[in-house]
């Protein structure tokens, strides 16, 4: 899958990159929501993985804005350390958006992506 990974923590980028490259995925990175949205406007991705709490444009707004694009990603994984997962799901309200709790296991994230890629 062609994946855009948006998170403001460089350590998480390194971990995700290692795990998902081993799985054969192509990953591009962004460190804030505005940059990620710019990339989404230009390039079509199979999957957007984004943190909820990011500078400039938060993950929830990024998901909403990305869904309006012609180049909208097929799937989204929204990562969060927030406890209100049900409320987040209600805010997003999309069938192709999946939630992943932080902290997360890279293996669990890889499994989620593999399930989407079927």
Q: For every one of its 118 residues, what pLDDT tens digit does the chain have, with 9 covering 90 and above?
A: 999 999 999 899 999 999 899 989 999 999 999 999 999 999 999 999 999 888 899 988 999 899 899 999 999 998 887 555 566 666 566 668 888 888 888 888 889 999 987 7
Element (H, E) at 62: helix 59-67
Domain chopping of the chain, boundaries: 2-112
Give the CATH superfamily of 2-112: Response regulator (3.40.50.2300)
Q: Which residues 6+ apart lie within 8 Å of 56 measured at CB?
A: 32, 33, 34, 35
CA distances from 93 to 12, 42, 60, 110, 118 (A): 26, 25, 11, 23, 22
Stated length of the chain: 118
- pTM for this prediction: 0.89
């Amino acid at each position: 899958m062609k994946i855009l990974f948006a998170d403001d923590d460089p350590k998480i980028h390194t971990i995700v990159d290692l795990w998902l490259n081993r799985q054969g995925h192509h990953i591009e990175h962004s460190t804030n929501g505005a940059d990620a949205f710019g990339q989404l406007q230009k390039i079509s991705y199979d999957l957007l993985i984004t943190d909820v709490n990011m500078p400039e444009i938060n993950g929830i707004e990024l998901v909403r804005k990305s869904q309006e694009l012609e180049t909208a990603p097929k799937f989204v994984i929204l990562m969060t350390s927030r406890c209100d997962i049900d409320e987040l799901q209600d805010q997003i309200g999309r069938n192709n958006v999946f939630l992943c709790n932080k902290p997360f296991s890279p293996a669990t994230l890889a499994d989620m992506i593999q399930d989407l890629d079927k």
